[in-house]
Structure 1
């Protein structure tokens, strides 16, 4: 019985066992032990094809087909060495793969929330009139400039931002205080200042769309964060283009990757840059202002082109041009003109609201200059007080500064002169504003997280808050004021 079984499987087993015999030899070699081939007794099960080291039922002695020594004699030593090397390499790869899999299984799972940062800043102000008509003095940029006001939290903000993915960036900034309310009501409120996403189309993020509530890309100071701005307030002539600087809409931005880095460096180095708003910006937005309802079907359109040059000596210089157009719906209320109560009328579909502006900045290294000027048309109360119509405007500012770094910190003394003649479209009845103002001050940063600014301001501005029947218009106010601001960054 055994013999017949042996003869029946001999042809198949012989062809299959040649590589098996060779493998046994190689394993012996890799194990570092010389095992004499003739001393190794192997048996194969004719049904399961398994190899055993002892005889049994249905098992045929391997040496009946081919001795190990015979297999060794037929395989060249060079081939054996090559096979041995391959086996070692395979074993090493398997060990490395197992180690990598173990490391990956033990590593914490990545989450987009890990890339989100939380930061913020706050500004405590003190305004003290020292001469002039401080009772009637008022400024749309700072509600703490008014009679019987001293300390005030001008801004208190927290910024949540970060990359959700390689092509989606989010930015959320609430405002915790925006000035006092009148009467017995308590001042301060919570509102959204920014809530947008940047959707990029390429890995370098040179092309992106910003959608949501964000700054209107116009001019320079509008885009410069209050956290980085040198002077107390933005110039009225520019800021009235977009009061609160923001609106709801979508903007396309483009800038080469190395220029995006340059925009960021101009902020991080303390040179008072705007941050990255692209070389080119093209956008559409509601046009009624931050957190205000849209009142017509007309969208504002805006375009901005700017470029930060870097000279061979390391000096940065930026210049650009901006423009926007649309229709704005003003707000009117009853006033008394010539003893007659009148509610100014206007086209309910909106009035022409457009302007073009230029800006140029020689960054303080150490001496710097900054200027903006713009011209246009915007809704404004007519001289007779009966209508609101689109009327011409123009204005801007010039600012000089000097940056000095020493053992006590960073110092930037400055002087800023501004003028404006035109509409205050965001105020009730869109009054005409006549403004001439000079501010002299110094900013001191003893530490990166602390900033103190002291300034003197000579103001000649229109109080746009109250229509005076006896004047058939708004009061022009002149005053001198000392101002201080402590800012902490976190």
Structure 2
């Protein structure tokens, strides 16, 4: 009988072989009974020739077999070491303190298990404004002081030329244990450095599922598409007047809780928020421009709540938006609506006279450096607590729409704010805007469905010295704001604007806007600065150089 190679290998691995002496014997098997016989017979088949093996002393395996065994042992040792190394690497990679750094679209840190992440974000916007035409019919801020010579009639009411840091923000955002995320951001151009006025976003959010989340802290009100869009991705340098006046300049970053449900093509977002206390608050009553309009303003240009009795103001907001038609990511229709109910707190002194609180609506006409409040309602609460004007609640409504068709886009919004309280009968302020854009280099605006707003533009080819032009966009629009009605005299204005935007790459933007005031009507505004701009003829050239990550 012959031995197989496997049998030989096993015998060799055991380090032994056998020597044997035997005699040959032929064996037969009965095909029916399966019995074995030593002699042939009817119905028997030869099985083969077999040898008897005697016990014998162990002998050393042949040299060739020993060499083969040594090679097998060495190979097994190498495989064992490789498996051990892979196990160590796997254990190292799953340690929570093992961190990776990613420099793609910003600076990001993450543990290898994905439980903890952090990213540094920031933006820098350097703006300039040149008033190429200013024809002011009144031309003076104040009447002549008592006893002054007739030729000294006060300070000219003109917009200044110049440059400024419009925004300079630095923040951090990330996740921990995957389902919870956070964001903290500070703007060094906001506030007076002595309080929390520079804080924009500061919240923590838990994501119950991919579409549904709840957050708490300071964050933007869910109201208006243009407000939901980061100022990094706006088409024009400044937001349109109605958004700036009725939403943004009330300090859209308020403290509270918010819920968001965002599917692939629609979202609903709600929040219950309140203003801050004291110096932090520029929430209700800010002219948004750092221009004081009365003793009720703090250093940030906002209503100062410090020292007054009662609760702070609060509000409830809801925004619903989606894309009812979506052929592709570059061909779709966006529609949305927003609503707010805002309760205003008014504080009075012990003698019943107005102390602080209330609400102010004020804004310029699109200027980005000298942001003088040309439109200005003044504080809507004044006088005595029993006879004076008192704004108690605000009700806001907004409608929005946008169309994207390849490199072309169009967008428009209407916002209305109704005021209820003593002295206000059907008091309503409203405004709207509309504009179109076109990418000369073929790109399309980038839509972010999670927030139903615009996102970062990524040029088809970045600017370089080898023929790359970056992305080029042209835009034109109309902007209207009316702060008159039902006992409110804040003025009315409309403008035409044109813009040219260049994106050398996805993180750098160069912008240029031309703005022409069609109509400024401020004859009935109490504020003397606003009066000076009644029927003014204004033309401005504005620029911005922006870096963000």
TM class by smaller structure: 0.5 to 0.7
Q: For 1:357, which of 387, 398, 405 is the aligned residue? A: 398
Query: Within 5 A, what are the aligned runs for 1:248-267?
Result: 248-256=255-263, 258-259=264-265
2:457 matched to which residue of 1?
A: none
1:102 matched to which residue of 2?
A: 88
Displacement after TM superposition at 1:127 (Å): 0.8
Query: Within 5 A, what are the aligned runs for 1:46-65?
Result: none
Displacement after TM superposition at 1:409 (Å): 1.7
Displacement after TM superposition at 1:99 (Å): 4.2
Displacement after TM superposition at 1:128 (Å): 1.1
1:446 matched to which residue of 2?
A: 504
Cα deviation 1:160-215 (Å, max 9, x = unaligned): 11112211111111101149x9xxxx99997101111221112xx21101211111
Query: Within 5 A, what are the aligned runs for 1:435-474?
Result: 435-459=493-517, 460-461=519-520, 467-468=526-527
Relative distance call for 1:365 and 1:469 in structure 2 (3 A) is: closer
Is the 2:182–2:204 contact (alpha carbons within 8 Å) kept by the matching residues of 1? yes
Is the 1:119–1:159 contact (alpha carbons within 8 Å) kept by the matching residues of 2? yes
Q: For 2:545, which of 471, 486, 490 is the aligned residue? A: 486
2:476 matched to which residue of 1?
A: 415
Separation in structure 1 between the aligned mates of residue 471 and residue 140 of structure 2, nearest angstrom: 36
Query: Within 5 A, what are the aligned runs for 1:266-415?
Result: 279-286=267-274, 291-292=280-281, 296=311, 299-308=314-323, 309-311=325-327, 314-329=330-345, 330-331=357-358, 343-345=382-384, 351-363=392-404, 365-378=406-419, 391-405=427-441, 407-415=468-476
Choose 212-221 or 281-290, whichever is displaced more.
Answer: 281-290
**Structure 1 stretches of 5 or more lacking a match?**
1-25, 40-68, 70-90, 138-144, 260-277, 334-341
Separation in structure 2 between the aligned mates of residue 291 and residue 31 of structure 1, nearest angstrom: 86
Relative distance call for 1:445 and 1:374 in structure 2 (3 A) is: same
Give the 3-state SS of the residue equivalent to 2:10 in structure 1. helix
Relative distance call for 1:470 and 1:325 in structure 2 (3 A) is: closer
Q: For 1:120, which of 119, 122, 134 is the aligned residue? A: 122
Displacement after TM superposition at 1:360 (Å): 0.4
Displacement after TM superposition at 1:222 (Å): 0.8
Separation in structure 2 between the aligned mates of residue 99 and residue 443 of structure 1, nearest angstrom: 54
Cα deviation 1:248-295 (Å, max 9, x = unaligned): 111110112x44xxxxxxxxxxxxxxxxxx711121111579941776
Is the 2:131–2:160 contact (alpha carbons within 8 Å) kept by the matching residues of 1? no
Query: TM-score, normalising length from structure 2?
Result: 0.57
Q: For 1:247, which of 234, 238, 254 is the aligned residue? A: 254
Query: TM-score, normalising length from structure 1?
Result: 0.63
Is the 1:379–1:423 contact (alpha carbons within 8 Å) kept by the matching residues of 2? no
Report 1 or 2 for greater relative contact order, CA contacts < 8 Å, sequence distance ≥ 6. Answer: 2
Displacement after TM superposition at 1:349 (Å): 8.9
Q: For 1:220, which of 196, 216, 225 is the aligned residue? A: 225
Is the 1:353–1:390 contact (alpha carbons within 8 Å) kept by the matching residues of 2? no
Query: Within 5 A, what are the aligned runs for 1:175-190?
Result: 175-178=187-190
1:130 matched to which residue of 2?
A: 132
Give the 3-state SS of the residue equivalent to 1:222 in structure 2. helix
Is the 1:331–1:430 contact (alpha carbons within 8 Å) kept by the matching residues of 2? no
How many residues are treated as equivalent by the alignment?
367
Q: For 1:169, which of 169, 181, 196 is the aligned residue? A: 181
Displacement after TM superposition at 1:146 (Å): 6.1
Give the 3-state SS of the residue equivalent to 1:221 in structure 2. helix
Separation in structure 2 between the aligned mates of residue 431 and residue 37 of structure 1, nearest angstrom: 115
Separation in structure 2 between the aligned mates of residue 470 and residue 126 of structure 1, nearest angstrom: 22
1:191 matched to which residue of 2?
A: 198
Is the 2:330–2:404 contact (alpha carbons within 8 Å) kept by the matching residues of 1? no
How well do the aligned residues superpose, as a CA RMSD in angstroms?
Answer: 4.5
Displacement after TM superposition at 1:362 (Å): 1.0
Choose 104-113 or 235-244, whichever is displaced more.
Answer: 104-113
Is the 1:125–1:484 contact (alpha carbons within 8 Å) kept by the matching residues of 2? yes
Is the 1:378–1:423 contact (alpha carbons within 8 Å) kept by the matching residues of 2? no
Separation in structure 2 between the aligned mates of residue 161 and residue 487 of structure 1, nearest angstrom: 21
Separation in structure 2 between the aligned mates of residue 396 and residue 418 of structure 1, nearest angstrom: 6
Is the 1:467–1:475 contact (alpha carbons within 8 Å) kept by the matching residues of 2? no
By percentage of residues, which structure has more helix? 1
Is the 1:328–1:379 contact (alpha carbons within 8 Å) kept by the matching residues of 2? no
Relative distance call for 1:199 and 1:92 in structure 2 (3 A) is: farther
Is the 1:379–1:430 contact (alpha carbons within 8 Å) kept by the matching residues of 2? no
Relative distance call for 1:211 and 1:37 in structure 2 (3 A) is: farther
Separation in structure 1 between the aligned mates of residue 319 and residue 198 of structure 2, nearest angstrom: 27
Separation in structure 2 between the aligned mates of residue 450 and residue 280 of structure 1, nearest angstrom: 32
